[in-house]
């Protein structure tokens, strides 16, 4: 059986669960990570936080096929430190936690880059920019320094032009090339055990750019600058031909004593898919994997995503697409088979050893409709690694899956006895023996008809481009079944999160978007409270705004302040309008503005261009200003400026 689709594999597991099953594929059918591990290499993927939070099919492939992950965006500067010294790690932690749960390593990407770095960094003086860089590296690398999941970092990214000169970036133009050595030293100081890489594109073949990289790495290492590794992005397109000297190029870097790795592989095709184009693409993938296999110092290959459903290619290279291993429906393409077969040398042993038997589950938090289970974890020694657990009821039906040694059951019937057991599964699909069963009885659901009290108005905090944290004053329940938790709804009444405490984390939101949400409490009998009052918050700008904003606090006094200039700088395409959003601390009110039209919704202010300053050519900027009144004891100011 080829693992054509995750659904098919899951079905096979579920249908065989009642019998004694070891769903062991033949060697040629094991997951990519099983073969890669047998060859001593990693096989990685970039992960995007939104599908990781929202799509089971995405998670299943990410965890079963890959043993290394890179955050596609969540660890970049604009995500981790959007404002000076204000760090948000929700997306980065999401990826690291996923990797930890699935026995995967994380490659940190990326610390110092000219792109996806906020405007406040770009406009600093040389002294302040160097301090900001060192602080950023110390904080971001330091956060994961003692976390064994995070093993390496792209310290600097894309520092060369195509002709081999240093890229004319704000880093280079402000600090000269010294920022490169400084960045590596700061990263080494923050985590002495992490492998530190320099990364770039169009350096796969031997050319002016890769030779400049070679000379820089050689020079830095002779100066004892801690450069451990060189990353070759490998964003390839079938229209430009395959870099046939890839292996030779990797080897010349390896001869400098550094590790090499393929960091962002994808292979674009032009126009629509045909079997001929698929075949050419598959050859490119096979060639890259074979080149890495042939070079001892090549640690592995990371692919820049895995499904064409979520690829940066169509947005970035008009007319090109279909660059990855799975199609939009998560079906494997010839490119998958090429990577698989290149990694599978036909002799490596397949993992046929199931994980150890998990402990008997214990049930807690039992309500009339659900319960939490936890159990002693299994271990896996067969090579493919522990992938997670399946939970079954007494008739052998799988009722939940989990990647950790706990699971939450929901949708149960009241006053009913449930007998459940768990089995562990590994990356090759082997299932452990059944754990001992546990029986628990849900609480009675019939007599309690009293709803909990109405919860307080939620307050939004830690707002990022894709998520936010809500918290509210708790409800109480007097009907007998007890407070069970809360549901969170959007303004259309759709339930978007649940929580068992008086706070919730929202993920997978869209950037630069206003969300209005309210909560209802629920009790153990399923009674729902009235709606709380609503709160509106606006997610910060994502990475695609095409414009940047920098705000200057011009003056302030006890009861107010003036922000000016707020400089709006356009990206590369001309535009006819712009909109800046920012957040006012509570109790602050706008008392005047100039050169923009301001609207206020809750704590969010949107400043749109005036009639005369909406047109901005490529790279052009304009300014506006505003004045705010605030309580006289308050020293906070508006923050979170984003441009759309
Ligand atoms: C890309 C991401 O894939 C996109 O989602 C984002 O909008 C832009 O950046 N080189 C890199 C990666 O080092 O970080 C880039 O990722 C692709 C090029």
Distance (Å, whole) CA 284 – CA 62 = 22
Q: If you measure from the C-alpha of residue 312 to the centroid of ligand 1, how many angstroms do you get, rounded to a whole number? A: 7
From the CA of 263, give the closest atom in ligand 1.
13
- Nearest residue (by CA) to ligand 1, atom 5, is 312
Measured CA to CA, the distance from residue 72 to residue 74 in angstroms comes to 6
Q: Give Cα separations from 15 to 4, 8, 401, 460, 607 (angstroms).
A: 17, 10, 15, 44, 57
Give the pLDDT score at 159.
98
In angstroms, rounded to a whole number, what is the distance separating the alpha carbons of residues 465 and 539?
5
From the CA of 542, how far away is ligand 1's center (Å)? 13
Residues with CB under 6 A from ligand 1: 72-73, 110, 157, 233, 264, 312, 543
| 29 vs 23: CA distance, rounded Å | 11
* Both structure tokens of 262: 């393929």
Note if the bond before 547 is cis, omega within 30 degrees: no
CA 88 to chain CA mean position, Å: 13
Compute the distance from residue 43 Cα to the ligand 1 centre, in Å.
19
Residue of 619, 622, 624, 642 whose CA lies nearest to 570? 619
- Token pair in block for residue 312: 């940066």
Span from the CA of 415 to the centroid of ligand 1 (angstroms): 52
Instruction: Assess contact for 504 and 470: CB atoms under 8 A.
Output: yes
The preferred substitution site among 112, 236, 304, 306 for testing ligand 1, maximizing ligand atoms within 8 Å of CB, is: 304
pTM passes above 0.95: no
158 is catalytic: yes
Given this model, what pLDDT does residue 11 score?
33
Asked if 350 contacts 32 with a C-beta cutoff of 8 angstroms, the reply is no
The residue annotated as part of the active site, out of 72, 81, 158, 204, is 158
What six digits make up the tokens of 464?
A: 């990022």
Q: What separation in Å is there between the alpha carbon of 278 and the centre of ligand 1?
A: 23
Task: Identify the pLDDT of residue 16.
Answer: 33
Q: Rounded CA gap, 92 and 90, in Å? A: 6
The pLDDT value recorded for residue 347 is 55
Q: Which residues of the chain have pLDDT under 50?
A: 1-28, 348, 543-544
Contact 209, 162 (CB under 8 A): yes
Residue nearest to atom 16 of ligand 1 (CA): 72
**Best mutation site among 197, 316, 321, 546 for ligand 1, i.e. most ligand atoms within 8 A of its Cβ?**
316
Query: Looking at ligand 1, which atom is closest to the CA of residue 315?
Result: 7
CA 540 to ligand 1 center in whole angstroms: 18
Characterize the bridge pairing of strands 259-270 and 320-321. Answer: antiparallel
Q: Residue 539: its pLDDT value, please? A: 79
Locate all alpha helices (DSSP H) within 47-177, ordered by sequence: 49-54, 56-65, 77-80, 90-101, 119-122, 126-143, 170-175
User: Which pLDDT value is given to residue 545?
Assistant: 54
Query: Which is the closest atom of ligand 1 to the Cα of 109?
Result: 14
Which ligand 1 atom sits closest to the C-alpha of 311?
Answer: 3
How far, in Å, is the centroid of ligand 1 from the Cα of 5? 27
Reduced to 3 DSSP states, what percent helix, strand and coil does the chain have, rounded to the nearest 5? 25, 30, 45
In the chain, the largest separation of any two C-alpha atoms, in whole Å, equals: 78
Mutate to test the pocket of ligand 1, among 48, 115, 314 (most ligand atoms within 8 A of CB): 115
Exactly one of 72, 81, 204, 264 is catalytic; name it: 264
Residue nearest to atom 15 of ligand 1 (CA): 72
109 CA to middle of ligand 1, Å?
A: 10
Q: Whose CA is nearest to atom 13 of ligand 1?
A: 157
For residue 135, report the distance from its CA to the centre of ligand 1, in Å.
23
Q: Is 161 marked active-site?
A: no
Q: What phi and psi, each to the nearest 5 degrees, are found at residue 14?
A: -65, -45
Give the mutation target among 44, 47, 48, 73 for probing the ligand 1 site: most ligand atoms within 8 A of CB: 73
pLDDT for the residue 445 = 59
Provide the pLDDT for residue 5.
29
635 contact partners, CB below 8 Å, separation of at least 6: 556
Residue nearest to atom 4 of ligand 1 (CA): 312
HSE-CB at 48 with a 13 A cutoff on CA atoms is 21
Say what the pLDDT of residue 554 is. 84
Map residue 433 onto helix, strand or coil. coil
Q: Ligand 1 atom closest to Cα of 201?
A: 10
Residue nearest to atom 3 of ligand 1 (CA): 312
β pairing state of 235-237 and 259-270: parallel
Nearest Cα to 615, choosing from 563, 574, 557, 576? Answer: 576
């Amino acid at each position: 059986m080829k693992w054509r689709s995750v659904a098919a594999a899951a079905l096979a597991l579920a249908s065989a669960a009642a019998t004694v099953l070891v769903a062991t594929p033949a060697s040629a059918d094991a997951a990519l990570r099983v073969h890669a591990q047998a060859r001593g290499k990693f096989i990685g993927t970039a992960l995007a936080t939104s599908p990781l939070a929202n799509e089971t099919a995405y998670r299943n492939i990410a965890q079963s096929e890959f043993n290394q992950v890179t955050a596609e965006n969540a660890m970049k500067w604009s995500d981790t430190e959007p404002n000076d010294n204000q760090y948000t790690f929700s997306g980065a932690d999401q990826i690291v936690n996923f990797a930890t749960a699935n026995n995967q390593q994380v490659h940190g990407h990326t610390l110092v880059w000219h792109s996806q770095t906020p405007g406040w960094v770009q406009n600093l003086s040389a002294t302040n920019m160097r301090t900001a860089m060192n602080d950023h590296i110390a904080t971001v690398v330091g956060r994961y320094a003692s976390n064994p999941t995070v093993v390496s970092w792209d310290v600097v990214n894309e520092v060369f032009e195509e002709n081999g000169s240093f890229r004319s970036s704000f880093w280079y133009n402000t600090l000269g090339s010294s920022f490169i050595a400084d960045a590596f030293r700061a990263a080494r100081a923050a985590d002495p055990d992490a492998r530190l890489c320099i990364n770039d594109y169009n350096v796969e073949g031997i050319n002016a750019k890769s030779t400049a990289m070679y000379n820089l790495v050689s020079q830095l290492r002779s100066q004892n600058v801690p450069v451990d590794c060189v990353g070759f992005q490998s964003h390839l397109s079938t229209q430009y031909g395959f870099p046939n000297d890839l292996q030779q190029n990797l080897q010349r870097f390896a001869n400098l004593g550094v590790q090499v790795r393929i960091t962002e592989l994808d292979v674009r095709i032009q126009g629509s898919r045909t079997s001929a184009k698929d075949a050419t693409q598959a050859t490119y993938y096979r060639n890259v994997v074979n080149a890495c296999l042939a070079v001892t110092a090549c640690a592995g290959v990371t692919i820049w995503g895995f499904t064409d459903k979520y690829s940066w290619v169509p947005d970035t290279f008009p007319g090109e697409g279909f660059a990855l291993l799975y199609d939009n429906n998560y079906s494997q393409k010839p490119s998958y088979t090429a990577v698989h077969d290149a990694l599978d040398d036909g002799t490596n042993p397949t993992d046929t050893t199931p994980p150890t038997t998990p402990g008997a589950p214990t049930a807690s938090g039992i309500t009339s409709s659900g319960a939490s289970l936890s159990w002693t974890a299994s271990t896996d020694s067969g090579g493919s690694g522990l992938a997670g657990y399946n939970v079954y009821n007494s008739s052998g039906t799988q009722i939940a899956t989990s990647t950790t040694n706990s699971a939450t059951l929901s949708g149960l019937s009241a006053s009913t006895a449930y007998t459940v057991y768990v089995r562990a599964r590994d990356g090759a699909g082997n299932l452990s023996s059944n754990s001992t069963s546990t029986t628990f009885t849900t609480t009675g659901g019939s007599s309690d008809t009293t709803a909990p009290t109405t919860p307080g108005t939620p307050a939004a905090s830690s707002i990022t481009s894709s998520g936010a944290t809500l918290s509210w004053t708790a409800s109480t329940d007097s009907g007998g079944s007890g407070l069970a938790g809360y549901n969170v709804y959007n303004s259309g009444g759709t339930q978007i999160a649940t929580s068992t405490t008086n706070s919730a984390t929202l993920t997978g939101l869209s950037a630069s978007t206003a969300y209005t949400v309210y909560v209802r409490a629920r009790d153990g009998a399923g009674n729902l409270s009235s709606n709380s009052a609503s709160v509106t918050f606006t997610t910060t700008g994502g990475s695609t705004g095409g414009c940047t904003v920098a705000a200057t606090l011009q003056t302030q006094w006890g009861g107010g302040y003036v922000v000016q200039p707020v400089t709006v700088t356009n990206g590369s395409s001309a535009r006819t309008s712009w909109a800046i959003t920012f957040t006012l601390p509570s109790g602050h009110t706008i008392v005047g503005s100039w050169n923009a039209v301001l609207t206020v919704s809750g704590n969010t202010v949107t400043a749109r261009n005036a009639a005369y300053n909406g047109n901005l050519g490529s790279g052009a900027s304009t300014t506006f200003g505003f004045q705010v009144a605030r309580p006289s004891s308050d020293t906070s100011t508006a923050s979170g400026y984003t441009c759309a």
